[in-house]
């Protein structure tokens, strides 16, 4: 299962946070310039966001989704 998606668009980068952006209100306050939807952070200029904050949001989203939906380790590749 995907924990987040990054989708480059013509005018901005879309970062889909599948556990919802509301979870990260405090971190978003210091992220920089962006727009929001329910599960998306839209970034027009990567030079206008704090890379450390963005990394934390992505990492925290990944860990939250991973804990909710652990991988099935019983499935083996053939």
Number of domains in the chain: 1
Q: Is residue 19 part of a domain?
A: yes
Q: Is residue 76 part of a domain?
A: no
Q: Is residue 78 part of a domain?
A: no
pLDDT of 74 higher than 80: no
Q: Is residue 28 part of a domain?
A: yes
Q: Is residue 77 part of a domain?
A: no
Q: What is the pLDDT of residues 22-73, one digit of tens each?
A: 889 999 999 999 999 888 999 999 999 999 999 999 898 888 888 877 765 5
Who's near 66: CB < 8 A, 6+ residues apart?
Answer: 3
Q: Is residue 44 part of a domain?
A: yes
pTM: predicted TM-score of the whole model, two decimal places:
0.76
Give pLDDT, residue 29: 93
- Give the domain extent around 32: 4-68
pLDDT of 14 higher than 80: yes
Cα 47 from Cα 53, distance rounded (Å): 13
């Amino acid at each position: 299962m995907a924990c987040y998606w990054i989708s480059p668009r013509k005018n901005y980068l879309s970062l889909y946070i599948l556990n919802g952006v509301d979870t990260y209100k405090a971190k978003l306050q210091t992220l920089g310039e962006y727009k929001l939807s329910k599960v998306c952070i839209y970034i027009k200029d990567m030079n206008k966001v704090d890379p450390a904050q963005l990394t934390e949001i992505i990492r925290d989203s990944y860990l939250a989704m991973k804990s909710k939906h652990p991988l099935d380790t019983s499935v083996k590749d053939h």
